[in-house]
C-alpha cells in the first residue's frame, strides 16, 4: 500500500526541509502528488528521517535467555526482537551472533540455530535482518563450521573477537564476573575453568586460524571487522588481513589510526546515552566530537541509537541533521547497502517519523521497505 507522508520536516541532502514523501514497496518518491496513495499520514510536527541501520546489536540475547539458564525458542525471541527494532526506528539490523568456544547461549550450536532461524523467518520480519557473526578467535574447533557459513553466503559481516585474555584473568580475579559467564555457558565453574585452560594451552594455533578464516572471507567478499582493537599496531595487523572497520577501538590512538587510513570506526550508542563507557574505554561522545566515530551501533540496547544522536544534538556536540548519518547513511555505506540510509528518490522506503521532546526523540512511526511497521499515533492516518 502506498502512503503519502505529508507535512513533516524531512532530512534531505541539505538538512531539514518541509517536504512530502511517498512511501511504497517500490521505494521513496520526493515529488509526490498523492497519485496512487490510498492513505495519508499527517506528519505535522514530526521529523521524517531515514530508517536506522544497526551494524551490531546483540540485545536479542535477552529474549533468548532472559535469566541465566532460562531459555526460550529462538524463533520466538527473534520475532519479539523484530518488534523492538522497528519500535525504535531500526529498519536494517545486523544481529551480533557470537560463535564461541563456550557452550550455551554463545556456543556454536546456538549460533547455527540463530542463522537458520533468521533465514526461515526473514519473510515475516519487518526489519531487514542479517547476521553479524562474531567469531571468537579461540574457537579453533569451529573453523570448519564457519568456513561453511562463509562459502554458503549466510553472513553479512564477520568480526574477529578475542576475549580469551580477559577471561583467563577473570578465572583468577573477578569471581562475580566469572559467575555470570559460567551461568551463561551452562557449565559448572570447575568445568568452565578446565575448558579455558585447555584452550589457552592452544594459543599458538590462533594466529594461523585467523589468517585462514580472513582469507576465506576476503575471497567471498565478506565485510570484516576487528573487535576491541587495543592498539594502533593491532589495528594495522587486522587491516593487513582485510578488516576495514574497527569496532569499539579501546584507545583514542587506535581510533585515530583507523580514521587516518580512511577506515570506519564503530562505537556504542549506549556509551553516548550513559555519558561514557561502562568498561573504561573511550567516551563515544568525545570520539564523535573529535571526528573519530563513523558509526554508532545499538550494541546491547536498541533504544540507544536514536537517543544517542538526539543527545549529541542537545549537548552541542553534533547537530541532528549531521549526527543522523552515524546511524543511517554511514553504516549503510560501510555495509555495502546502496539502496538505503538517506531520503532520496527511488531508494528503499525505510523511514522513521519522530517527535522531538524534552525527554528525547519519541518514535511515532516506522516504515520498513514501504510497509508501516510501527505506529503509536494511529489518528494521524487518514484516507487520501
**Tens of pLDDT, residues 275-308:** 988 777 889 999 999 999 999 999 999 999 999 9
Residue 333's pLDDT is: 98
Is the pLDDT at 207 greater than 50? The verdict is yes
Secondary structure (3-state) at 225 = strand
Provide the pLDDT confidence category of residue 164 given band limits of 50, 70 and 90: confident
Residue 202's pLDDT is: 93
Is the pLDDT at 174 greater than 70? The verdict is no
Is the pLDDT at 190 greater than 90? The verdict is no
Residue 34's pLDDT is: 64
Is the pLDDT at 84 greater than 80? The verdict is yes
> Does the model's pTM come out above 0.75?
yes
Residue 68's pLDDT is: 82
Percentage, residues of the chain above pLDDT 90: 82
Q: CB neighbours of 101 closer than 8 A, spacing ≥ 6?
A: 136, 138, 139, 140, 141, 142, 195, 199
DSSP 66: S
Question: Which pLDDT tens digit goes with each residue over 328-365?
Answer: 999 999 999 999 999 999 999 999 999 999 889 999 99
5-29 average pLDDT score = 95
223-230 average pLDDT score = 96
Residue 187's pLDDT is: 84
Q: Average pLDDT, whole number, for the chain?
A: 93
Is the pLDDT at 59 greater than 70? The verdict is yes
Residue 173's pLDDT is: 46
Q: CB neighbours of 198 closer than 8 A, spacing ≥ 6?
A: none
Provide the pLDDT confidence category of residue 175 given band limits of 50, 70 and 90: very low
Residue 188's pLDDT is: 83
Query: Given the C-alpha cell 557452550, which residue does it identify?
Result: 103
Cell numbers linked to 63:
529474549
For domain 3-49+344-383, is the CATH number 2.40.30.130?
no
Residue scoring higher pLDDT (235 or 188): 235
Residue 139's pLDDT is: 95
In angstroms, rounded to a whole number, what is the distance separating the alpha carbons of residues 102 and 186?
Answer: 9
Amino acid at each position: 500500500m502506498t502512503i503519502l507522508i505529508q507535512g513533516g520536516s524531512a532530512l534531505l541532502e541539505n538538512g531539514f526541509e518541509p517536504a512530502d514523501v511517498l512511501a511504497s514497496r517500490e521505494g521513496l518518491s520526493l515529488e509526490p502528488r498523492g497519485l496512487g496513495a490510498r492513505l495519508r499520514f499527517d506528519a505535522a510536527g514530526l521529523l521524517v528521517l531515514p530508517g536506522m541501520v544497526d551494524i551490531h546489536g546483540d540485545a536479542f540475547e535477552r529474549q533468548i535467555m532472559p535469566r541465566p539458564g532460562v531459555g526460550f525458542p529462538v524463533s520466538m525471541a527473534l520475532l519479539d526482537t523484530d518488534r523492538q527494532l522497528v519500535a525504535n526506528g531500526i529498519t536494517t539490523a545486523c544481529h551480533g551472533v557470537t560463535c564461541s568456544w563456550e557452550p550455551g547461549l554463545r556456543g556454536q550450536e546456538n549460533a547455527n540455530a540463530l542463522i537458520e532461524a533468521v533465514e526461515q523467518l526473514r519473510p515475516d520480519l519487518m526489519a531487514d535482518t542479517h547476521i553479524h557473526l562474531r567469531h571468537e578467535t579461540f574457537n579453533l574447533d569451529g573453523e570448519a563450521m564457519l568456513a561453511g557459513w562463509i562459502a554458503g553466503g549466510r553472513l553479512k559481516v564477520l568480526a574477529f573477537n578475542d576475549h580469551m585474555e580477559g577471561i583467563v584473568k577473570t578465572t583468577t580475579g573477578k569471581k562475580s564476573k566469572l559467575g555470570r559467564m559460567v551461568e551463561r555457558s551452562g557449565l559448572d565453574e570447575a568445568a568452565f575453568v578446565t575448558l579455558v585452560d585447555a584452550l589457552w594451552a592452544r594459543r599458538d594455533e590462533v594466529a594461523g586460524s585467523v589468517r585462514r578464516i580472513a582469507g576465506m572471507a576476503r575471497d567471498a567478499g565478506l565485510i570484516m571487522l576487528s573487535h576491541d582493537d587495543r592498539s594502533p599496531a593491532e589495528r594495522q595487523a587486522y587491516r593487513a588481513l582485510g578488516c576495514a572497520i574497527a569496532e569499539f577501538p579501546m584507545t583514542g590512538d587506535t581510533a585515530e589510526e583507523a580514521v587516518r587510513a580512511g577506515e570506519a570506526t564503530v562505537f556504542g550508542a549506549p556509551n553516548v546515552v550513559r555519558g561514557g563507557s561502562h568498561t573504561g574505554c573511550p567516551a563515544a561522545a568525545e570520539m564523535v566530537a573529535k571526528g573519530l566515530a563513523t558509526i554508532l551501533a545499538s550494541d546491547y540496547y536498541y533504544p540507544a541509537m536514536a537517543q544517542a544522536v538526539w543527545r549529541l544534538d542537545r549537548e552541542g556536540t553534533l547537530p541532528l541533521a549531521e549526527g543522523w548519518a552515524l546511524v543511517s547513511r554511514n553504516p549503510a555505506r560501510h555495509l555495502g547497502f546502496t539502496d538505503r540510509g538517506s531520503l532520496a528518490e527511488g531508494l528503499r522506503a525505510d523511514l522513521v517519523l519522530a517527535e522531538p521532546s524534552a525527554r528525547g526523540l519519541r518514535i511515532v512511526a516506522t516504515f520498513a521497505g514501504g510497509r508501516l511497521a510501527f505506529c503509536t499515533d494511529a489518528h494521524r492516518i487518514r484516507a487520501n
